Amino acid sequence: MALGNLQAYSDELAAVVAQVTRSVVRVQARQRIAGTGVVWPHSGELGAIVTADHVVERDENIRVVFDGSTYEAELAGRDPTTDLAVLKIKPDAGLVAAQIAESKTLQQGNLVFAVGRPWGNEAIVSGGIVSALGKFGQGNGWGNPFQEGLIHSDVTLYPGFSGGPLADASGRVVGINSSVLGRDLSLAIPSETVARIAQQLLTEGRVKRGYLGVGVQKIPLQESLAKKLGLAQETGLMVLMVESGTNAEKAGILPGDILVGLNGSTIARVRELNRWLANESGGREVKAKVIRGGELKEFPVTVGVR
């Protein structure tokens, strides 16, 4: 590549970074180093700032700083499970909402940028490529609330970068960075997850997830029993306890039952149950398939909410 072309490419990247940083703010909501936030598109009366839950250590006296100006912000809601929080700010603050792209447009090897604003007025930028997508991390249980998985890149997440954007080469936000989701890994919550959670926090103040009211443990299924019952799975979830007054108790599910399916979905591992419940908003009656006394039984149970 000719030197002139290389300089032109470099200038284009700088322009992309400038586009992203105009929607990146500093979030002052904890004693130690501040975190970062992104001005999120929102049609409500107040503006919305998306950030990481773990950088918001107090519910009051929250401030957002941009270009030397400080604005008071109100906590709309938080979801520790996905490490996301949303702040509300007066729309006359004049902040520019970020451009958002779906993370499914990303491919391994794509160029991405992480932007943070933990100190002073200047933004800090780190660049890299996408390392892994989608199923990365689900083996550690991260797949439960993250229907779209997580984004793993080799960008450097400096202190205070949590809550800031991961942006693509066009300057569109494809994820929100979090330093607590993976030890020594650069992980971002996909924009689809962020949009889904942010909408619930802005409208409801919390994220509703399905709840059955059972404590379970994965156990192996005897090959002969699985064959007899026509089950292809090798494991199920033994019910260790049923909470009093819950829908599971009302449905007749008992300790010692082995849960193997819910409404046609195979349930062989705890993370599969958690992922299934994460996709439920509650109130729907489903069929719980359990093994009791060596026989398959189905119980209608209404999914609760918590």
Active site residues: 54, 83, 162
Rg (CA), the chain: 23
Residue where the block lists tokens 């006296």: 61
DSSP-assigned letter for residue 82 = T
Tell me the two tokens of residue 177.
Answer: 């960075």
Burial of 134 (0-12, 13-18, 19+ CB in 10 A): middle
Tell me the two tokens of residue 232.
Answer: 């292809």
Distance CA 260, CA 258 (A): 6
Task: Look at residue 271 and give its three-state secondary structure.
Answer: helix
Distance CA 114, CA 124 (A): 8
Please give the torsion angle defined by the CA atoms of residues 26, 28, 29 and 34, in that order, rounded to the nearest 10 degrees.
Answer: 70
CA 160 to each of CA 27, 99, 117, 120: distance values in angstroms, whole numbers, following the listed order: 9, 22, 7, 12
CB–CB of 57/29 below 8 Å? yes
Distance CA 47, CA 23 (A): 12
SS3 content of the chain, % helix, strand, coil (to 5): 20, 35, 40
